[in-house]
Amino acid sequence: MNKRREPRFEADQSVVVTVLGDHELRHAALVKNASGRGIAIEMPAAVAIGAALKIECDDSILLGEAVYCKAGPGSHLVGVELDQMLCGLTELGKRLQEFAAEAPSGREVPYAIKHRQRQHRQEPQQQ
């Protein structure tokens, strides 16, 4: 009987795993299966339980914590409990470039200068 809270789905997705910490280590890895709460990845190196991991795939970044690490022939199977997921980073990058390239309409600069000068004239409050 399967005691998992959520169903697991088989996968074979190449990813890059970074073990976060003082000395960050990057490894090529393979997602073996996934659920809504976590993933199992196969990688060449062992990972300490509790280690913070960043997993990069396509245009997404997943952040999680290693909850188990099982040695196998030539690799390790690492269970990762997911904490955060950032998707659509390619589109976000395009939008940020568009935003940065927009020229001010002409009203923003004088407004900013006027209010900056007003802020500098105010005396600090005495406590």
Locate the domains of the chain by residue range. Answer: 9-89, 90-121
Confidence at residue 83, expressed as pLDDT on a 0 to 100 scale: 93
Average pLDDT, 10 consecutive residues per value, the chain (127 residues): 64 92 92 90 96 92 96 95 87 80 65 61 51
Confidence at residue 103, expressed as pLDDT on a 0 to 100 scale: 62
Confidence at residue 3, expressed as pLDDT on a 0 to 100 scale: 58
Confidence at residue 117, expressed as pLDDT on a 0 to 100 scale: 56
Confidence at residue 44, expressed as pLDDT on a 0 to 100 scale: 95
Confidence at residue 22, expressed as pLDDT on a 0 to 100 scale: 86
Confidence at residue 91, expressed as pLDDT on a 0 to 100 scale: 82
Confidence at residue 105, expressed as pLDDT on a 0 to 100 scale: 62
CATH T-level fold of 9-89: Thrombin, subunit H (2.40.10)
Rg (CA), the chain: 23
